Amino acid sequence: MTNPVSMRFPFELKDQPHEVVQAHRFSFQGLVDLNQAISSLKGQITALKSASSSGSTSTTATIETITVESILAGIGTVNDQTGQTSYTTQSQDAGALLILNDASPVAVSLNSAVSKPFALFISNFGTGLTTLTPTSGTVNGGASLALSQNQSIWCVFDGTDWKTWAFFAPPQTLTKVTHEWMDSYDAATGLFTKSQPAYSDISGTPQIPNTIASVPGEYVTGYDATTGNFSQSTPAGISATITTAALTGTGTQGSMTFTNGILTAQTPAT
């Protein structure tokens, strides 16, 4: 490649100092050198490219653009089906909260015709049992899944079957009832149950009282429920001597002596 005409510049500039003429000369000589270097490099690159293509097969890479619909496209959306006893999930339910609320049983069809990825939240606020049934495939490996009142789940479709993860219901308030105790808790509904304990609910074996022999002057003072034994002792009575008056003016006084409340000695009055 020859130097372009536009790169040629007269070296003799009239009426210009020698330094200016020299500067112009060096500048355009540099442009000429650069242009020649580009021409040389272009030839080398062309030669290398030809050698590379002759020894290998050209491969064309195809990049496929994939559009994926977000599994949570409707996050924050509430689909309130309160009062409805049947419903079929739709594509627009992806990421949304589906609310069921009725006193009668509610039938929900999990629409397996939706595109994956697909998932939604489902909550049953009604007293009626909600039954989820896929239009095809299974749900958690079964034909259907029941949701009790206050039970919520995260329901995911994998393209063939449905999988769920349950959110436990918050515990419900339980009113205290005298002589009753709490005997169960339902994690699906958050409800406690209570009842009055039966005799069989009490642990241990009651001890049968043992026979105690009667002893004159003694009484029962205690009982041991572990052994069934009674204890007894003599009561601590009065110990004293009582003087009795004479029966006549010339008679003598009498006396009675008590020891622990028992008469132990006596002198009759006269």
CA angle, corner 43, sides to 41 and 48, nearest 5?
95
Residue entry with tokens 């050198």: 33
Q: Are strands 78-82 and 97-101 parallel, antiparallel or unpaired?
A: parallel
CA distances from 136 to 113, 133, 158, 165, 230 (A): 9, 8, 12, 19, 76
How far apart CA 119 and CA 162 sit, in angstroms, is: 9
Q: What is the pLDDT of residues 55-74, one digit of tens each?
A: 554 444 444 433 345 666 78
According to CATH, the superfamily of the domain at 78-167 is gp9 (2.60.120.640)
Bridge partners of 62? none
* Two tokens, residue 253: 């006084």
Buried residues in 208-217 as b, exposed as e (16+ CB within 10 A): eeeeeeeeee
Residue entry with tokens 């089906």: 81
Per-residue pLDDT of the chain (270 residues; tens, 9 = 90+): 455 544 455 555 566 565 555 665 666 566 666 667 777 777 777 777 776 666 554 444 444 433 345 666 788 899 999 999 999 999 999 999 999 999 999 999 999 999 888 999 999 999 999 999 999 999 999 999 999 888 899 999 999 999 999 876 678 888 888 888 888 888 767 788 999 888 777 777 667 778 878 877 677 788 887 787 888 877 777 788 888 888 887 888 888 888 777 788 888 888
Helix (H) or strand (E) holding 79: strand 78-82
* Two tokens, residue 60: 């064309």
Average pLDDT over the chain reads 79
Q: What is the pLDDT of residues 114-161, one digit of tens each?
A: 988 899 999 999 999 999 999 999 999 999 999 988 889 999 999 999
Q: Where are the domains of the chain?
A: 5-44, 78-167, 204-235, 236-270
How far apart CA 137 and CA 120 sit, in angstroms, is: 17
Give the amino acid at 148. S
- pTM beyond 0.75, yes or no: no
